[in-house]
């Protein structure tokens, strides 16, 4: 009878070990999937930011061309085409556009860096959870090992 109890205890211990391994494996797969999803989200957000920046850039350039054409048209109608005032106005529009585009580039770069750091943080968090799960698994196996 005592042998049967010892045998049943060993079976239960083995079953517990197997369930622990399965649970840890499931946890690791879920964490990997979550990390991949977070990275995909980060990549998608980054792409959206790039597209929005490109659209704004094109809009700024379109507005610049329209404003320069207006100045040139008014200068031509008033007979001041080629004057320092008309040339200065066109150069001012060009300078303001360049300044706005430069600011957009800086904010775009900062958004990209923030996205990249968020992605790296998610990866680090995933690695930490994996290590934690493996540590728990190792501890479980130590608890299940027969004592002498």
What pLDDT shows up at residue 144?
54
pLDDT band at 143 (very low <50, low <70, confident <90, very high): low
Other C-beta atoms closer than 10 Å to the C-beta of 71 total: 20
Whether residue 147 is predicted with pLDDT greater than 60 in this model: the reply is no
What pLDDT shows up at residue 141?
63
What pLDDT shows up at residue 148?
44
Task: List, for residues 9-67, the tens digit of each pLDDT value.
Answer: 677 666 666 767 777 777 778 777 887 888 888 888 888 888 998 999 999 899 999 99
pTM of the prediction?
0.60
What pLDDT shows up at residue 139?
72
SS3 track for the chain: CHHHHHHHHHHHHHHHHHHHHHHHHHHHHHHHHHHHHHHHHHHHHHHHHHHHHHHHHHHHHHHHHHHHHHHHHHHHHHCCCCCHHHHHHHHHHHHHHHHHHHHHHHHHHHHHHHHHHHHHHHHHHHHHHHHHHHHHHHHHHHHHCCCC
Across 86-112, average pLDDT: 89
Other C-beta atoms closer than 10 Å to the C-beta of 118 total: 16
Task: List, for residues 105-129, the tens digit of each pLDDT value.
Answer: 888 888 888 888 888 888 888 788 8
What pLDDT shows up at residue 42?
81
């Amino acid at each position: 009878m005592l042998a049967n109890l010892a045998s049943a205890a060993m079976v239960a211990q083995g079953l517990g070990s197997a369930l622990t391994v399965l649970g840890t494996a499931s946890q690791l797969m879920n964490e990997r999937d979550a990390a991949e999803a977070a990275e995909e989200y980060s990549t998608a957000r980054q792409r959206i930011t790039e597209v929005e920046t490109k659209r704004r850039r094109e809009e700024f350039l379109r507005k610049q061309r329209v404003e320069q054409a207006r100045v040139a048209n008014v200068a031509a109608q008033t007979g001041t085409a080629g004057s320092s005032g008309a040339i200065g106005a066109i150069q001012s529009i060009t300078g303001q556009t360049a300044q706005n585009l430069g600011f957009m580039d800086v904010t775009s770069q900062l958004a990209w860096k923030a996205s990249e750091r968020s992605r790296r943080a998610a990866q680090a968090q995933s690695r930490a959870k994996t290590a934690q799960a493996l540590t728990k698994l190792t501890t479980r196996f130590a608890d299940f090992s027969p004592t002498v």
